[in-house]
Amino acid sequence: MRPLIALNLKVYPESLGRKGLELVRIAHDVGKETGVRIIVAPQAVDLAASSKIHKDIFAQHVDWNAEGAFTGTTTPEAIKAAGCLGSLVNHSERRIGDEAIGKAVARLRGNGLESMICTKDTPESARLAVFEPTFIAVEPPELIGSGISVSTAKPEVVSGTVQAVAKVNGTPVLCGAGVSNGGDVRKAIELGAAGVLLASAYVKAKDPKNLLAEMAEALL
Ligand code: G3P
């Protein structure tokens, strides 16, 4: 599998409305220029507009059990209808428990959508790999938003997770938390990761295009 970059725009003021769509456009341009797969997870209200700009759009969260008389939820079917390719599942800031994770992945798959299960460590990654998501993204919670990359501060989490998941079924493993520059990305790939998942460094960058291009080059 070719390595990839996944960008979670979260709900930062810097990714709100037009600013968020501009971040999607930049990701689209860098992906086109470098040939690197770049998944973007914009704010929920921007999913449909984002998928008109870039085809590789994921939701940040999906509600596996909603249908019909539920309020304020996002279903896999709605994500699909909005033109998206998949969803993050169980992000550290939106943890849902093992049973819900399995059901969310299955319902996404049933709709022909991809899934990226976020995990906090190696044992959780190996345990959740049995649900056969498209990707696993391991992110030590204490490094999220820290600017200190998991690939530098906790390389053993990256390599250990890659090895543990390889023993289960070989689901591609991304790593995230604090990933801030091309060097962090290069290190992640050297440790065996299939790519990186990041948020704040991209969303808050003075020059997001330059940063993303540097990260994409580091993958090649
Ligand atoms: O979803 C990615 C995220 O949790 C990592 O955040 O800001 O450390 O890149 P950040």
**Among 4, 5, 8, 90, which is best to mutate for testing ligand 1, by the most ligand atoms less than 8 A from CB?**
8
Residue 198 alpha carbon, nearest atom of ligand 1: 9
Q: What is the set of active-site residues?
A: 91, 139
Looking at residue 108, its pLDDT comes to 98
Cα-to-centroid distance, 116 and ligand 1 (Å): 14
Q: How is the beta sheet containing 58-59 ordered, strand by strand?
A: 37-41, 4-8, 195-198, 173-176, 135-138, 114-119, 86-89, 58-59
User: In which region does residue 160 sit, left (phi positive, over 0), alpha (psi from -120 to 50) or beta (all else)?
Assistant: alpha
Summarised one tens digit per residue, pLDDT across range 71-83 is: 999 999 999 999 9
Cα-to-centroid distance, 69 and ligand 1 (Å): 33
Looking at residue 220, its pLDDT comes to 87
Q: Residue 128 burial (CB < 10 Å; 0-12/13-18/19+)?
A: buried
Looking at residue 61, its pLDDT comes to 98
Looking at residue 80, its pLDDT comes to 98
* Average pLDDT, 10 consecutive residues per value, the chain (220 residues): 96 98 98 98 98 98 96 97 98 97 98 98 98 98 97 97 98 98 98 98 98 96
Cα-to-centroid distance, 68 and ligand 1 (Å): 32
Looking at residue 1, its pLDDT comes to 86
Summarised one tens digit per residue, pLDDT across range 19-57 is: 999 999 999 999 999 999 999 999 999 999 999 999 999
Residue 93 alpha carbon, nearest atom of ligand 1: 4
Q: Which residues line ligand 1 (CB under 6 A)?
A: 8, 91-92, 139, 144-145, 176-179, 197-201
With contact defined as beta carbons under 8 Å apart, do 9 and 200 qualify?
A: no
Looking at residue 219, its pLDDT comes to 93
List of domains in the chain: 4-219 (3.20.20.70)
